[in-house]
Amino acid sequence: MAEFTYTARNVAGEKVTGTLSADTRGEALAVLGSRDLFPLHLEDEAPLADTKRIRRIPARLMATAYGQMADLLRSGVPLLRCLEVLGNQTSHSGLKAVLGQVHHHVQQGSTLAEAMARFPRIFSEMAISMVRAGGEGGFLEEALNQVARFTEAQEEFKRRTLGAVAYPLVLAGLMTVIVVVLMVFFVPLFDDLFEGLRQRNELPPLTECLLALSAFMKQWALVVLAVGVGVGALVYRWLKTEEGRMRRDRVKLRLPMVGKIFVNLAVSRFCRVLGTLMHNGVPILRSLEISSDATGNFVLAAAVRQATENISAGQSLAGPLAASGEFPPVVVEMISVAEEANNLESVLLDIAESLENRTWRALDLAVRLLEPLLLMLLAGVVLMLAVALLLPIFKMSQMV
């Protein structure tokens, strides 16, 4: 039997607080009713497993859990039993604890979406929104199955992306280490050697700048590093705010070359979720509300919410999206034609598939261009160092 704390009003309208014992949330509400109390707030005091230390659960594991839950529900297994089975069979301690708490909250009367929303670090906004729509529209199994597919597809895209940029990242890191080592430990060795040329004002300007930069790095490297870490921490905290996320997402969409990749990826998620919801009979206003969270971009989400307000006033979807200026014109045109042909949901899914394929091709091209650019940059830096150190040596040899 669990302990519940409650806040209620009696027949006189006075606020009353207290605790009571009951097996379920429903029984607790019944007890309050028998006491002529009208509940305002009811919370279970039962101790639950600590999930604050759970930072991340692998996306593939989450996708598997969503898919298994959909299969169990489709087979007629009750939701509470599904959560219990999934919690018992998983070997991941974090997922086991989360599923245990979700089971507890559902047992106490919360919907599955409400229970998942208590753990925003574990369940994405898209997953919570899809499950909420599935529960309201009576297609929870299909919603969970779609969430599993989305989660797995995003993880696969992330894996392919990291695999593609791994070599350029390693190359960039290696280049940075080489330059720092040369500037801090190697270049200062030439300072005394070139002292005579410096006194006669015959030291080449490039060499003078190189030696000055090397001396600065050697003396202030740790200070610069500490300041950089501090500024980075402040920027990271600011980016967690709503204003920071809006600025960051706007910059991402405007970046040269990679900006289109971010746009296509966000729009493809929006189109896939919106098309899936409309295909399952969810009203368009509710579908837009859910799919706006699926974009993963604050700027595009704001544009979708603005479109929702305009649609409620009788406009089409394509018009507000075009007016926002954030959606590609081709996508807006396809949505406009689909609305006239009354096949919007199927066209949205086609758009999502096309944009995902186009995004991968663009990313692959960007990575292919990045590799030679980094190699050329590394070669240019090393060449500049060599020239800056060899010019004084040539001048000294001519004086001998």
Q: Using one digit for the tens of pLDDT, what is the confidence trace for 39-69?
A: 877 776 544 444 556 667 888 899 999 999 9
Query: How many CA atoms lie within 13 Å of 323's alpha carbon, on the beta-carbon side?
Result: 15
Cβ atoms within 10 A of the Cβ of 348, count?
Answer: 28
Return the exposure string of 272-291: e unless at least 16 CB atoms fall within 10 Å of the residue's CB, then b.
bbbbbbbbbebebebbbbbb
The CATH topology of domain 59-154 is: Receptor-associated Protein (1.20.81)
- Structurally, at CATH architecture level, domain 166-400 sits in Up-down Bundle (1.20)
Per-residue pLDDT 10s for the chain (400 aa) are 566 778 888 877 788 888 777 766 777 788 888 888 888 777 765 444 445 566 678 888 999 999 999 999 999 999 989 998 998 888 888 888 889 889 888 887 888 988 898 888 888 877 887 888 788 778 889 889 888 888 887 787 778 777 767 777 787 888 888 888 888 888 888 877 777 777 777 788 888 888 888 888 888 878 888 998 999 899 888 888 888 888 888 888 888 877 888 888 888 888 888 888 788 777 888 788 878 877 778 888 888 888 887 777 667 788 888 888 888 888 888 988 888 888 888 888 888 888 888 887 877 777 777 778 878 888 888 888 888 888 888 777 766 5
pLDDT of residue 231: 92
Cβ-contact 150, 123 below 8 angstroms: no
